[in-house]
Each structure stands twice: as structure tokens, then as C-alpha cells.
A and B are shown apart, each in its own frame.
Chain A
Amino acid sequence: MTIFKTFLKILNKYKLTVILYSSILIAFAVFNMKTNDTSVSFVASKPDVLIVNNDKLEGITKLLIDYFSKNSNIIEIEAEEEAIDDALFYRDVNYVIYIPKNYNDDFLNHKNPEINIKSTKDYQASLAELMLEKTLNIANTYNSLRFTQEELVNVINETLNAESNIEITSTLDSGSLNEATYYFNFSSYALMAGAIQVICLILLSFRQINIKKRTIISSIDYKKYNRVLILSNALFSIVLWLVYIIISFILVNKAMMTLHGVLYIVNSLLFTLVTVTLAFLIGNLVNDKNAINGIVNCVALGSAFLCGAFVPQEILPTSVLGIAHVLPTYWFIKNNELVKGLEVINLNTLKPYLINLGVLIIFMIIFVVITNMLSKKKQTIA
């Protein structure tokens, strides 16, 4: 109890740091989720297209614009070339179509006029290009027949309207699950950085040389001492974790209210506990207050980058993922991705999920054992 009380006292001293750190991390998480949800996941099936029209709005020109309004997100920005280039670079627009002057007339007079485009050359842009080519192909083919402008537009529209039927087999609400997965993946960074930073600072206070001497000389067993400290730190981390869970319910409540939500929560609880043991290990290794900042950044940022908290795992190169296997974050994020794709939840489909949880537990045990070993050794030296 004495240890726990001291722990709370020190935590109280650092409460401003804790609050500041957590709120910054939360703000980051929220903000990133809001800006990134369109660019990270490929769910959006309408490319962002900008049409710069220098022609009169009639005939083929109008047809093109109408078609793209229906099948893509038309982006409106000022027609300055620099603004357009910026938008392309930052992927605000995937595809720019410049319709030249007199396009409609030239087209009808079989001059096969040229259309300039700018493209980001990614998935979305390829889709837009496919749509443009399709429309122009059809238009060109019909143009060889001697239709009037009106007839031509009608017949092209009629052909474009010939659509195949589409069936979706999945019943998953992939949009909200995507968001939830992104949130939890990002939270791995926030949890890890927050927990390690605070826990290390607290442990450091416990290990000031005079306090340490007094602790060693006392009758308390070093294992019990470590246990109580770990438990208090775990308690702190669980509070931190609860905060993130509550936020997840506010932000992505649609996904959280399902069975998937429970799986996310269990996974992140275990991850939090792993983080505690890791923080405890680091806290026992490091003796310098200044060094903590550096280590927190390296460990937390490193885990986040290598394991796919910022960039989805499917995009990371295999060599990087190979290295990531030795980091607990990798298994946590792997599990989130797994939950995202779960169609049916039963014992059989949950098997890989449970295995990943098992790996997290193994990490936990390893960290605790090493910490105890170090702690024991240090005691004899001190």
C-alpha cells in the first residue's frame, strides 16, 4: 500500500504532463482519422475529377461533364494552374480533364480533337481514365454513323446506361470497420508513447539513489516490490486505455456496438498490458531523465512506423514486416486487421485472433521475466 500511495503522489506531480501528452496524442489520432480515411482505404469508388471546360456546354462536352458528375466526385477549385497542380500533388484531385475550345464542334466534324489530362497515375486516376476512354470510345464509334448532335447524344447516353447488375455478398459494414481499425491502429502509438513516457518518469523517481537505498534495506521482497509497482502502473495504463475506449465509442460507435467492437476492445486491453510491461522494462534500464524522451520517441515511433499504425500493413514492404514480427505492436495491428475482415464470428474463425493474443501474452511474460532478472541483479550491485 505504501508503494501504491507513493505512486499516486508522484503521478499527481506529473499529472500535467500526463494530461498534456494524452490530449495531444488524442488530438492527433482524431485529426488523422478524419483526414486520412479517404486516402488510406480504397473503399471510395468514385475518383476525384476536375474538369476544366473551355468549350460551350452542349453536345458531347455536356455529355462528358454529365457523365463524370454522375460517376465521380467533381472537385471545384479555382482554375489557376498552380492550384490545380497543388491539388494533384496532394491527391485532392486524381484526374484533371481539359476540354479544349470548340471541342463539341470539332468532334462532330470528325476532327477527333485532342483532350489534355493530368493524372496522379494511381488507382483512382486509372478508374477515371477508364471512364473517359469508355465514353470517348463509344462516342467515336457512333460518330462514324451520320447522326445529328441530338441523336448522337441520345444514343451514347442510352449505351452508357446499359449497366450490368452488381451483387454484394458481404454483409459487413466495411466503412465503419475501416475507421475503427484505423483508430485502434493509431491508438497503439498513443498508448505506447503515453504509457512509456509516464511510467518511466515515475520509475525514475522511485530509483533516485537515496530512495532506492532505503527500499533495498527495507524488509520488502524485491519481487513483491516489483509486483506492486507493476500493478500500479498497470492501473494507470488501464485508465489511459479506458479513455481511448470511451473516445472510440464516441468516434466510431457504429462499429463498436457490434461483436467486432468487443474483439477490438479485448485486443487493445491486452496490448495495453504488454505496453506496461515493456515500459517497466525500459524504466528499469534507463537512468537518465533526458534519455527517456529519446527512447520513447524511438520505441513508440519505430513500432508505429514498422508495424503499420500509420501506413497500413498491406502496403508495407515484406522485409519491414519481417522485422516487425519481433515487436508486439505488429501482432496487435495484425489482429485489428483480422477483426476488420471477419464475416462470421465463431470459435473457428477466431482461431488466428486468439493465436495473436497468445503472442501478446508471451511478450508480456518475456518482458516481466527480464525485468525481474535485471532488478534482482541491480539490487546486488547497489
Chain B
Amino acid sequence: MHNFKYTLKTIFKNKALIFWTFAFPLILATFFNMAFSDIEESEKLKIIDIAIINDNSFNNNLTLKEGFKALSNKDSEEQLFNITYVDCEEEAKSLLEKDSISGYIKIDNEPIVVVKSNGINETIIKHVTDLLLAQEKISIIFSSVEGMYGLKEENTNTNIKDVSRSNLSYTIIEYYSLIAMTCLYGGIIGMYSINRTLPNMNSVGKRIGVSPEKKGSIILGSAIASFIVELIGLLLLFLYTIFVLKIDYGSNVFFIIILSCVGSFTGLSLGIFVASIFKTNENNKLGIIIAVTMFGCFLSGMMGITMKYVIDKNIPIINKLNPAAIITDGFYALYYYDTLDRYIFNVVSLIIISIIFLLISTVALRRNKYDNI
């Protein structure tokens, strides 16, 4: 109990520790929010600016004229283009040069689409022009065969049904891996507080080592103290992202809390593991935890969400063992899927990993004797 209290006190006194576990995730979350807030919106199809040379050959081609008119109708939900009608090609060219349009259409016997470079807008313009051309062709074929077959009334509306899942916002993965990072950075706290009790690390440890107190209760006290600090850090991150940055984590708050707690428990056991296994100074241990965590987060998509998918698809075993990826995947499964199977699998994996870490640490921490230090 005594040890518990003082572990808490020393943790809060250590500024670097508090920075990495409390402030750094908040700062990163702010950056993410600033950088990614518009990214998905910008990937949606916007109305494309084009120009059409409004000469006789265009005015005589009714299919094209009516077609483009319909597609640029501002009142329609299907509006695809914003058309500037120009009188001569030079005008269209200068608009294209200034990037105020994606391309223009001129009619020289056949319609010709003029664009600056390859691109998605350009491709869409071409497809639409093709479609209008096809309609022209259809009307020709119809007028030739109509007499032969006789027209039958038909519903020509296409019958397409969208069955996509609703939660498709992939930037949320960034925040999930950020939570994963915070959980694992909690390991720094765990490492620090265990280090405090180790006789070969500092003089406080020596004094604790010669005290009659049971080793188990000392370690437990330190661990619980670190766990509480970790949870406070996580709570801060959640409060900040939910209320200040307005991130929508979905509705399963209860499961999210459970996963976060299990995640920080894994972080804690990672910290204890590193503290007890590696016989080196505190800075090196810190380096190991930061390196492992950062690399794990990198693999789980914090620096680019495609990364997680590439690993999941090609070498799944890596992310099945990577705590950061398991935490991220757990959140992802909650967010994206309706069933809990994958989520539960992830939580169980985390618990197993933590237990393995702790078992190894116990073996390493038991029966330590020092002839001299």
C-alpha cells in the first residue's frame, strides 16, 4: 500500500513520462484531426467543370446538346457537370490552361474530348460522352428495326441496389491505432514503476530489496498504480477526442471501454516484461518500448491505413501477434461488423499475450540475488 502510494507520486512527478503517455497522444490526435478531417469528403465525386464549344455542329447534334443540358441541370440531384459554353476553341484552351475546367468538348464530325492529363475527372467526361454517343447510336438502330420487331413497353430503369455496410469512414482507423499506441505507451509507466523496485537499477530499489516486504506485493502495488495512471491517460484521450475533436467511435461504448482496458493491461505487461527481462539502463528500456510500440502502430496503420491491410492480407501472422494491430483490429471489428466474433477473438488474444508476458516476467523477477551491485 505504501509502495502503491509512492509509485503514483513518482509517476506524476516524472515530466517526460507524463508527456509521452498523456500529452503526446493528445497532440497526435489533434494533428490527425486537422489533417484528415476533409480527406474523405474530398474523395467524393464533385461536380466537374467542363466547357463546350457552342458552334453550329454542337447545336445540330441534339443528343449531345440535350444530354449535356440534362447532366448540368442545377436542380437535379444527378448533376454531374458545370458547363461553360464558349464561342471558340481558344477560349476553351485558355480555361483548360488555367485549370478552371477539367476538359472541353469540341465537335469535329465526331465529338472530341480535350483534356490536360489523365485523371478520374477526365475519364468520367469521356465515359459520359461515350454514353451520349451510344444513345445516338441506339436511336439510329431503333429507327431501323422498329418496323421489323414492334416496340414493347419496357421499364428501362436499371435495377441496382446498394448493400454496402454503413460505417465506411476509414480515417477512424488512425484514431484506433492512436488508442492502441496510448495503451502500449502505458508500458513505459509500467516499466518505470517496476524499475523503481529493482535493486540493480537504483538506490530506492536497493532499499526496497532489503526490506522485509514480500516481493509479490511490492510488484503488485507498482503494477496497479501504473495501471491506474494508464487508465487516466486513456480517459483523457477519450474525453478529448470525443468532446473536443468530435470523433464518432460508434455506439458500442461498453465494448470500447473493455477493449481499451484490456489493451492497456497488455501495455502494462509489455512494460513489466521489458523492465524485468532486459538488464540495461532505463533509457534503453524506454527506447525498446517506444520502438516496439511505434513499429507495431506503423504495421497497424497509424502512418497510412493501407499498411494494416497489406499486412493482414499477405502476412496475417504478424498482425495476429502484434498487440497494436490486435487492439486496432478489435476496434475496427466493433465499428464495421455487426457480429462480435472477431472482436472477442482479438480481446482473448490480447489477454493471452499479456499473460505470456507476465509469466516470463515472474520467472525473471523471482529469486534474484545480488552478490554485489
Q: Which residues of A contact B (CB under 8 A)?
A: 28, 32, 35-36, 39, 42-46, 82, 85-92, 98, 110, 112-124, 126-127, 129-134, 136-138, 140-147, 155, 158-160, 162-170, 172, 174-175, 290-291, 293-294, 297-298, 301-302, 305-306, 310-311, 314-317, 320, 341
Contacts and interface: CB of A to CB of B under 8 A. Distances in A.
Contacts of B149: 145-147
Contacts, number: 243
B156 A127 contact: no
Interface stretch (B163-171, B198-206, B238-246): B163-171
B88 to A, nearest CB: 16
A45 B119 contact: yes
B117 A172 contact: yes
Contacts of B249: none
Q: Is the interface of B mostly helix, strand, loop or mixed?
A: helix
Interface stretch (B218-226, B267-275, B305-313, B364-372): B305-313
B256 interface: no
B79 to A, nearest CB: 13
Interface in B94-139: 96, 99, 110-124, 126-131, 133-134, 136-138
B120 A90 contact: no
B12 interface: no
6 contacts: A39-B306, A90-B309, A133-B158, A166-B113, A169-B116, A317-B37
Interface string B302-321: 01111111101100000000
Given A35-B307, A164-B112, A143 B127 contact: no
B210 interface: no
Contacts of A44: 120
Interface in B32-67: 32, 34-40, 42-45
Given A36-B304, A162-B137, A110 B336 contact: no
Closest 3 pairs (CB-CB, A-B):
A90-B309, A45-B123, A144-B154
A162 B118 contact: no
Nearest to B163: A116
Interface residues of B, number: 88
B278 interface: no
A134 B131 contact: yes
B142 interface: yes
Given A85-B337, A120-B168, A144-B151, A164 B129 contact: yes
Given A140-B157, A164-B112, A305 B35 contact: yes
B35 A320 contact: yes
Interface in B79-103: 93, 96, 99
Interface stretch (B19-27, B189-197, B354-362): B19-27
B23 to A, nearest CB: 8
A85 B156 contact: no
Interface of B: 15-16, 19-20, 23-24, 27-28, 31-32, 34-40, 42-45, 93, 96, 99, 110-124, 126-131, 133-134, 136-138, 141-142, 145-146, 149-165, 168, 170, 298, 303-310, 312-313, 332, 336-337, 342
Given A163-B130, A305-B31, A117 B162 contact: yes
A122 B169 CA distance: 11
Nearest to B295: A24
B34 A146 contact: no
A113 B117 contact: no
A160 B121 CA distance: 20
A301 B156 contact: no
B45 A114 contact: no
Residue of A36, A85, A110, A122 with highest tally of chain B CB at under 10 A: A122
A142 B146 CA distance: 11
A282 to B, nearest CB: 16
A133 B45 CA distance: 16
A168 B303 CA distance: 35
Contacts of A116: 160-163
Given A134-B127, A301-B28, A315-B39, A117 B156 contact: no
A90 B154 contact: no
B123 A127 contact: yes
Contact of B154 (A140, A159, A167, A301): A140
Given A146-B149, A169-B115, A122 B43 contact: yes
